[in-house]
Amino acid sequence: MTTGYQLKRADFIFKNQNDWEEILSKNIIRNPQDLINDLISSELKGRGGAGFPTGLKWKLSAEAVNDTKYVICNADEGEPGTFKDREILSKVPFKVLTAMAVCGHVIGAKEGYIYLRGEYFFLRPELNKAISEFDYYCREINFDFTIRIFMGSGAYICGEETALFESMEGKRGEPRNKPPFPSSSGYMGKPTVINNVETLAHTYTIFKYGAKRFYDLGVQYSRGSKLFSVSGDTPKPGIYELELGMSLSDFVDEFGDGDTKAVQVGGASGFLVPRKRFGETVIGFQGKLTGISLPTGGSMMLFNSSRSMFNVLDNYLEFFREESCGQCTPCRVGCQQLLNGIKAVKRGEKNAMYLDKLLRLTETMQYTAKCGLGQSIANSFSSIVENFREEMIY
Amino acid sequence: MEKTLKITINGVTVEIEQGTSILEAARQTGVIIPTLCYHKDLCVAGNCRVCVIEIAGQKRLAAACATPCEEGMEILTNSFKVRNSRKHIIELLLSEHNADCTRCYKNGNCELQKLASEYKIVTQDFIRLVESKNYTIDMFSPSIVKDDSKCIRCQRCVRTCAELQGVNALTVAYKGDQMKISTFFEKSMMDVVCTNCGQCINHCPTGALVEKNYIEEVWDAIADKNKHVIVQTAPAVRVGLGEELGFEPGIRVTGKMVAALKRLGFDAVMDTDFTADLTIMEEGTELLTRLKGVLVNHDPEVKLPMATSCSPGWIKYIEHMYPDYLDHLSTCKSPQQMFGALAKTYYAKARNLNPETIVSVSIMPCTAKKFEANRPEMHDSGYRDVDYVLTTRELAIMIKQAGIDFMKLDDMHYDRLMGESTGAGVIFGATGGVMEAALRTAYELVTGREVPFENLNIIPVRGMEGVKEASVKIENPLKEWAFLDGVELKCAVAHGLVNAKKIMDSIRSGEANYHFIEFMACPGGCLGGGGQPIPTSPEIRRKRTEAIYAEDAGMPLRKSHQNPEIVKIYKDFLIKPLGEKSHHLLHTHYSARKRF
């Protein structure tokens, strides 16, 4: 049992947002550089899953020279097993709006957009109400920042930031080539900060309690707390705010049903961790903590021994086959080959060695796919096939 | 001077300009990186991933076409990782591709096939996907055949249709495994805004988009003893055909082409350049008549600017996109259709042939000409004016099939009656050529003097700029054109429909005040046409252009009205430009089409 990586509950995100007016008016008169420094010293990293340092992101956009810049809140929460952003937007929308406005102040943007997942259409009326209240206050304090909602249409790929820009520009949601990165050329080719809903909510915590308070949570390289969407074979599914840097065995002790066979960390594009590796797996960002450390968008799916890992993988691959934008070869064709491949092995049309060929293919997909989606399919495929090979074959 | 960067490619340090992509840098230093979705004419897509390379220190591979060089980059284009990945990608593409190569029209001229050959993909490890997808082939269009089973989704056609042509007939539909290149509501290419320009064919790396070919039909006609098969060759064919038959781009093969056509068995080989000259006579007169209508009679029915009507891609474009401007189009038919109408009337009479027995074939750099020949408007001879249209590529196929050693042929001359031409007719093949030819004749007609440009070369309308402008001031005209004294004739030239759109929008907004505009659907004009040899690139088109102007410069006669066969046809048959016979045979009107 690893020590020092215990599960610790935290309670910041959903705690009272009633002081948003104060937070906003206090911070939009602060020096942008100080705000950036706060974020940098808090070591907040993006909570969408990729873990890019938020302070650096804001800094790069602030340094970009352009009269027009944008702040975008990525609320295209589409990763299977993730449902935290929905909760944030319905419970504490003002935290997100405030954070967007402060970001606008920092980088010099006058407009912000919330890219709302198509399936979250039902959130729109309440969110619009919050936005108009927010707008009213901004005008009252003479702060020029307008927030609008842009409705997505239900494509998973539009959660990828550059595909999201394309979608907002009225084009087909296909990821762009990078570079250029959003900080220099994002929405409409303008410098853009695009942050996940939860990331923005955390910046609110930092503005409110200071960077130190946030930094003191979590462990080295993985500071702060994080929302986890817990689902699957668990007696208590739901959303939990936990400090980063807990061991997976602690997590399973808390949330498992006593028969947990594996946990899918980070949704369909994340990794599957089998029981034997629970102890050595720490949930956090890069940096060798102990054994494996896994970044995560916050999705934790627990599977008990009644689940067929073949079915789990089959389900993920079907999802990816359909949700790939289809533009790049490794992702479009690769997904089809992986799905058809495991089925062929299961049916005995291809021998077990074919799985190794597919594993090598996932490496190629990881190296060559144009965007994060295609690159990350390898994660779930290889972690499931390597750990549950016999379930793929028999 | 741009800043330069130092990078190493496969261990060799090179200096390159900042902003250069890794692909370009490699090419400059003699390292070949394979590509599929990349094309010099188009924006970078970076979606096929065949050009992936390894950058030291990075776990992931980068697409060479889409990644700019950075100072100190160490690039490997043939590492273990690169080779394996690239091979995988080719295998994946093949698994999704109808690789029935021996039965493919593009067999031997397919970029995917070439890559498969280079990487020696001889096994079939991955599961074949193409069979389960129930693709249908769209062959309703008389110009273009679209076979999705051969598509590799590189989107070159989509980018061509959008960026070069601004037509957007082809777009991406669906996502994931269902993703495909399609049209509005998946209608046939025949029923959408497609202008049949064929640029998508020129840019397609595989056999997914090809011309509808009429090779067998023409062979059958030649073999039929009861048919008199005549052929016309468009100006741009003579500067492109050689590329298909072993010559470098930019070599003129006029005489060899005529010789080859005679060997193929055509009963008469004549020249579309002749009717290009005729077009100048008709269109030039029409322009002057319109100028008179507007400047003297102030007739609101007469529309200026007048737009050329030689390019059938442009015609279909204006029918779809600017139908309210159709009366700005010259009523002249294209040279191909003028030739067709005369072949079964004037030529038949002169040679004492029953027009019913004449099969009229044309060799065009163009796929839209196939559609044009098929138009209901084009039956003024009482028969279908042009029976079969072959592209430059199809002609090359026939020459190869006939076992003709093209390089060794001696030059031959076109047959009489409709085979004589001037330099003015030849330059129809290049952007700006119709304008230049028209000015050479119209100016002289009006003033009695040669157009005031050195050696008749009207340089402002030449070249590859998308929109070109020129003006000619008319001074001391002949008495009957006195109303034009002091008038500055304002002209514009556009090639590539995306540029045509710019001019049309400026006309619509009232910004532009041109008198006469030349529109060509394809980049570079006909020499960059959708029926020309593949590959195409700005460089290749530039070489073809030089060849066209060299042909013009070498002609003894360079003004359409000097063509003796033109003089003869007006004397013997047409009587005068815009006369009754001309009106019946050489002019037409077009009508509006829907915009989807």
DSSP one-letter string for A176-245:
PPSSSPTTTS-GGGS-EEEEEHHHHHHHHHHHHH-HHHHHTSEETTEESEEEEEEEES-SS-EEEEEES-
CA gap A392, A312 in Å, rounded: 10
Chain B residues close to A330, C-beta within 8 Å: 49, 88-89, 92
The Cα–Cα gap between B256 and B411 comes to 5
Does residue A289 form part of some domain? no
**pLDDT grade, residue A119 (50/70/90)?**
very high
Write down the mean pLDDT value for chain B.
Answer: 96
B522 shares its domain with B580: yes
Strand partners of residue B5: B16
Tell me how crowded residue B474 is: count the other CB atoms within 10 A of its CB.
18
Taking Cα atoms as reference points, which of B250, B261, B206 lies closest to residue B96? Answer: B206
Q: Please indicate, yes or no, if residue B441 is contained in any of the structural domains.
A: yes
- Choose the catalytic residue: B372, B420, B444, B565: B372
Residue A223 lies in a domain: no
Nearest chain B residue to A339 by CA: give it. B127
- CB within 8 Å of B54: residues ≥ 6 apart: B61, B62, B75, B76, B77, B79, B81, B82
What local confidence, expressed as pLDDT, does residue A293 receive? 66
Nearest CA to CA, how far is B44 from chain A (Å)? 9
Q: Is residue B592 part of a domain?
A: no
Both B311 and B427 in a single domain? Answer: yes
Contact residues, chain B, for A368 at CB < 8 Å: 49, 52, 60-61, 85, 88-89
Two tokens, residue B101: 């190569």
Q: Which residues pair with B180 in a beta bridge?
A: B173
Among A61-75, A278-292, B15-29, B411-425, the range scoring the smallest mean pLDDT is: A278-292
Residues in chain B with CB shorter than 8 Å from the CB of A364 are 84-85, 88-89
* Whether residue B225 sits in one domain with residue B139: no
Are residues A36 and A139 part of one domain?
Answer: yes
- Which residue out of B106, B369, B370, B543 is catalytically annotated? B369
Which residues, in sequence order, are CB contacts of B65 under 8 Å at separation 6+?
A: B21, B22, B23, B35, B37, B38, B44, B45, B46, B51
Residue A244 lies in a domain: no
Report the candidate in A205, A214, A208, A204 with the shortest Cα–Cα distance to residue A98.
Answer: A204
| pLDDT over threshold 70, residue A291 | no
State the pLDDT at residue B240: 97
Total number of domains constituting chain A: 2
* pLDDT range class, residue B596, cuts 50, 70, 90: confident
CA A132 to chain B, closest CA, distance in angstroms equals 36
Amino acid at A23: I
Which residues are A282's β-sheet partners?
A247, A293
- Grouping H, G, I as helix, E, B as strand and the rest as coil, residue B225 is coil
B514: closest CA of chain A, how far (Å) = 34
Residue that is last in its domain, among B63, B92, B121:
B92
Identified catalytic residue from B74, B91, B377, B465: B377
Q: Are strands A299-304 and A225-232 parallel, antiparallel or unpaired?
A: parallel
Supply φ then ψ for residue A179, to 5 degrees: -65, 165
Per-residue tokens: B201: 């064919």
Closest CB from B46, B52, B127 relative to A177: B46
The beta-strand segments (E) located in B56-167 are 62-63, 74-76, 137-138, 144-147
Contacts of B21 in chain A (CB under 8 A): none
> What pLDDT does A288 receive?
46
Minimum-distance CB partner of A326 among B95, B126, B153: B153
The answer on B120 and B15 residing in a single domain is no
B198 shares a domain with B115: yes
Tokens of B90: 């080719």
Which pLDDT score, from 0 to 100, does residue A3 have? Answer: 56
In a domain, A68, yes or no: yes
- From B322's Cα to the closest Cα of chain A, the distance in A is 24
Q: Do B127 and A344 touch (CB under 8 A)?
A: yes
Give the Cα separation of A202 and B199 in Å (integer).
52
**What b/e sequence results for A197-223 when a residue is b if at least 16 CB atoms lie within 10 Å of its CB, and e otherwise?**
bbbbbbbbbbbbeebeebeebbbebbb
Q: Cα–Cα distances in Å, from B193 out to A43, B49, B158, B316, B321?
A: 54, 31, 13, 8, 8
Active site residue B522: no
Whole-number Å distance between alpha carbons of A265 and A299? 6
Is B330 assigned a catalytic role?
yes
Q: Known catalytic residue: B286?
A: yes
- B84/A179 CB distance under 8 A: no
Handedness of CA B154, B155, B159, B161 (dihedral sign): positive
Cβ-based neighbour number of residue B509 at 10 Å: 8
Residues A198 and A328 in one domain: no
Answer yes or no: do A360 and B84 touch at CB < 8 A.
Answer: yes
Among B276, B212, B206, B202, residue whose Cα is nearest residue B244: B202
Specify if B413 maps to a domain.
no
CA dihedral B218, B396, B146, B65 (to 10 degrees): -170
Shared domain for B292 and B197, answered yes or no, is no
A chain contacts of residue B50, beta-carbon cutoff 8 Å = 329
Asked if the structure places residue A304 within a domain, the reply is no
pLDDT band, residue A2 (cuts 50/70/90): very low
Number of neighbours of residue B79 by Cβ within 10 angstroms: 15
Q: Would you state the pLDDT for residue A1?
A: 43
Positive or negative torsion for Cα A128, A129, A132, A133: negative
Chain A interface mutation, best of B73, B83, B85, highest count of A Cβ atoms under 10 Å: B85
Instruction: Report how far residue B578's alpha carbon sits from residue B574's, in angstroms, rounded to the nearest whole number.
Output: 9
Q: Evaluate whether residue B593 is within a structural domain.
A: no
Residue B214: CA count within 13 A, CB half-sphere: 28
Domain of B253, CATH number, reads: 3.40.50.1780
Domain, as residue range, for A156: 20-215
Q: Tell me, what CATH number does B124's domain have?
A: 3.30.70.20
Binding-site residues on chain A for chain B (CB distance < 8 A): 155, 157, 172, 174, 177, 179, 320-330, 332-337, 340-341, 344, 350, 357, 360-361, 363-364, 366-370, 375
Minimum distance, in Å, between the CA of residue A180 and any CA atom of chain B:
9
What secondary structure letter does DSSP report for B176?
Answer: G
Instruction: Tell whether B532 is covered by a domain.
Output: yes
Q: Which residue of B has its CA nearest to A340?
A: B127
Strands (E), B283-354: 306-307
- Residues A351, A207 share a domain: no
How many Å separate Cα B63 from the centre of its chain?
A: 31
Whether residues B92 and A330 touch (CB distance < 8 A) is answered with yes
B454 noted as active-site residue: no
Residue A367 — φ and ψ, nearest 5°? -75, -30
Q: Is B152 on the interface with A (CB under 8 A)?
A: yes
Q: Which two tokens stand for residue B142?
A: 């008389």
Q: Which residues pair with A196 in a beta bridge?
A: A74
The pair of structure tokens assigned to B445 is 């007609």
Q: pLDDT value at position A297?
A: 80
Cβ of A326 within 8 Å of Cβ of B175? The answer is yes
Write the pLDDT tens digit of every residue in B354-366: 999 999 999 999 9
Residue of A24, A58, A22, A23 whose CA lies nearest to A40: A58
The overall pTM is greater than 0.90: yes
Give residue A5's pLDDT.
85
Tell me what ipTM this predicted complex has. 0.94
Instruction: Confirm if A269 and A380 have CB atoms less than 8 A apart.
Output: yes
What CATH number does the domain containing B78 carry? Answer: 3.10.20.740
Count how many Cα atoms sit within 13 Å of the Cα of residue B587 in the half-sphere of its side chain. Answer: 19
| Strand-by-strand arrangement of the B62-63 sheet | B12-17, B4-9, B74-76, B52-55, B62-63
Which CATH number belongs to the domain containing residue A350 in this structure?
1.20.1440.230
List the structure tokens of B39: 């094309």
Q: Is B414 a domain residue?
A: no
Residues B241 and B372 placed together within one structural domain of the fold? yes
Q: Is the pLDDT of residue A342 over 50?
A: yes
Asked if the Cβ–Cβ distance from A330 to B125 is below 8 Å, we say no
Please give the residue of chain B at the shortest CA–CA distance from A373. B176
| Pairwise CA distance, residues B496 & B520, whole Å | 6
Catalytic residue from among B111, B243, B283, B551: B283
B161 is catalytic: no
- Is the pLDDT confidence value at A36 over 70? yes
Q: What element of type H or E holds A86?
A: helix A84-91
Summarised one tens digit per residue, pLDDT across range B60-115 is: 999 999 999 999 999 999 999 999 999 999 999 999 999 999 999 999 999 999 99
pLDDT at A289 over 50: no
Residue B500, pLDDT above cutoff 70: yes
**Are A368 and B85 in contact (CB < 8 Å)?**
yes
A157 is a domain residue: yes
Best interface-test mutation with A: which of B23, B60, B92 has the largest number of A CBs within 10 A? B92
Q: How far is CA A126 from the centre of its chain?
A: 23
End residue of a domain, out of B189, B210, B231? B210
Judge whether A69 lies within some domain. yes
Q: Which of B151, B310, B332, B366 is catalytic?
A: B310
Closest CA relative to residue B195, chosen from B595, B532, B505, B541: B595
* Among A187, A215, A243, residue at a domain's last position: A215
Residues B347 and B240 in one domain: yes
Q: How many DSSP H helices and E strands does chain B contain?
A: 20, 18
Quote the tokens at residue B459.
Answer: 């340089």
Residue ending a domain, among A184, A215, A246, is A215
Closest to B92 (Cβ–Cβ): which among A157, A329, A375?
Answer: A329
Distance from CA of B127 to the nearest CA of A (A): 7
Q: Which residues of B touch A157 (CB under 8 A)?
A: 175
CATH at residue B568: 3.40.950.10
| Sign (positive or negative) of CA dihedral B194, B199, B205, B207 | positive
Contact flag A369-B176 (C-beta cutoff 8 Å): no
Residue B152: what residue type?
A: I
How is residue B386 written in tokens? 């042009």
B182 φ/ψ angles, rounded to the nearest 5 degrees: -145, -175
Size of interface A-B (CB pairs under 8 A): 116
B244 is annotated as an active-site residue: no
Q: Is the pLDDT of residue B376 over 80?
A: yes
Residues A346, A309: Cα–Cα separation, whole Å: 12
Among B49, B88, B152, beta carbon nearest to A370: B49
Given B47, B66, B92, the domain boundary residue is B92
The CA distance from B326 to B320, in Å, is: 10
Say how many domains are in chain B: 4
> Which residues fall within 8 angstroms of residue B212, CB to CB, at 6 or more apart?
B139, B141, B142, B143, B144, B145, B367, B370
Taking contacts as CB-CB distances below 8 angstroms, the residues of chain B near A177 are 44, 46, 63, 66-67
| Tokens describing residue A288 | 């060798």
> Is residue B25 predicted with pLDDT exceeding 80?
yes
Query: Are B445 and B532 within one domain?
Result: yes
Question: Of A195, A215, A235, which closes a domain?
Answer: A215
How many angstroms separate the CA atoms of B160 and B202, rounded?
A: 9
Domain of residue B496 covers 278-332+422-537+544-586
B327 and B430, same domain (yes or no): yes
User: Would you say residue B508 lies in a domain?
Assistant: yes
The secondary element (H helix, E strand) that includes residue B228 is strand B228-233
Phi–psi pair at A301, nearest 5 degrees: -110, 125
Same domain, yes or no, for A27 and A163? yes
Chain B partners within 8 Å of A174 (Cβ): 172
- Assess whether B420 carries a catalytic annotation: no
pLDDT band at A286 (very low <50, low <70, confident <90, very high): low
- Average pLDDT for residues B199-227, to the nearest whole number? 98
Contact B467, B503 (CB under 8 A): yes
* Tokens coding B582: 């001309």
Distance CA B320, CA B298 (A): 29
Position B416 in a domain: no
Q: Which of B66, B89, B176 sits opposite A329 (nearest CB)?
A: B89
In a domain, A3, yes or no: no
Looking at residue B3, what is its pLDDT?
A: 86
Contact present, B462 and B455 (Cβ < 8 Å): no
CA distances to A311, A378, B378 from A314, in Å: 5, 14, 58
Q: Based on the fold, state whether residues B238 and B346 are members of the same structural domain.
A: yes
Task: Kindly state the average pLDDT of the residues A179-189.
Answer: 96
Q: Are residues B139 and B263 in the same domain?
A: no
| Strand-by-strand arrangement of the B388-391 sheet | B268-271, B228-233, B358-364, B388-391
Could you confirm whether B465 is annotated as catalytic?
Answer: no
